[in-house]
Amino acid sequence: MVYNNNKLAIIDDDYHKLSYLEYDEVNIFHEWYLIEGEERISELSRQLRTFFNYKQSIIHAKFSLLRKYTKNSHSESISRYGNDLITHTSRVIALLKNIGAVDGNIVETLKIYMKKLILNPKRADIEKLQEIKKGIKKIWEILHVLSELGLYNNQSLLKTAIKISCISCEVNTALFTRFGNFYSELNKNYLQLEKELIRSDQFDNREQFPVNKRKIGVRISK
């Protein structure tokens, strides 16, 4: 599973322009713009906790000699939420691919897609963008739950969760432009966590956590 990190700028005026359009179909954009302030503060706080939880899992995995001999007491819940994470991420990736996103251009693709909706708003296209937003929101919720449960002895799922977090940061950078810098920095920190996993000699090559033997393609290709 490979994720290519490319940071691209977003024009903040898009939401201002969208809010003045006289089409019923674009009301959803205006709603996002009005409510994102209060809602995002709580969301950003939770996402920071999620990040630090994953960092703690990595520290635990790297330095706990008991890791290989103990079983996480939340294994059943982790398995269930792990499968849910794969399901929802697969749907979002399919939607992103449908609008032309590939590795490295998620932010740019979403920016172009929203600009096109400004000029030619169509209900079906707006609903597709709304589905991406809802899907990413659900993914963040699952990522947080998994981080609270602890993935220190589940190398495969921990790696997948971090990669999916990077994709989610990219999408939110485009959807919530006022907080673009936050998500860009959060993405960089998740990429650093990924490097820490790669450098760690404590992880073995065994699959310690099967997720219905289904593999998620985090790479977004044409």
Instruction: Report whether 3 contacts 219 (CB < 8 A).
Output: yes
Question: CA-CA distance, 195 to 186, in Å (whole number)?
Answer: 14
Going by the DSSP 8-state scheme, the letter that residue 24 receives in this structure is: G
Instruction: Report whether 57 contacts 147 (CB < 8 A).
Output: yes
Residues of the chain with pLDDT under 50: 1-25, 67, 69, 201-203, 205-211, 213-216
Question: CA-CA distance, 195 to 58, in Å (whole number)?
Answer: 11
Q: Which H or E run includes 114?
A: helix 106-119
Residue 121: its pLDDT value, please? Answer: 85
- Report the mean per-residue pLDDT for the chain: 77
Q: What are phi and psi of 136, to 5 degrees?
A: -65, -40
Query: Sign of dihedral through CA atoms 137, 138, 143, 146?
Result: positive
Going by the DSSP 8-state scheme, the letter that residue 66 receives in this structure is: T
Distances (CA, A) of 167 to 36, 89, 93, 195, 219: 20, 9, 9, 16, 9
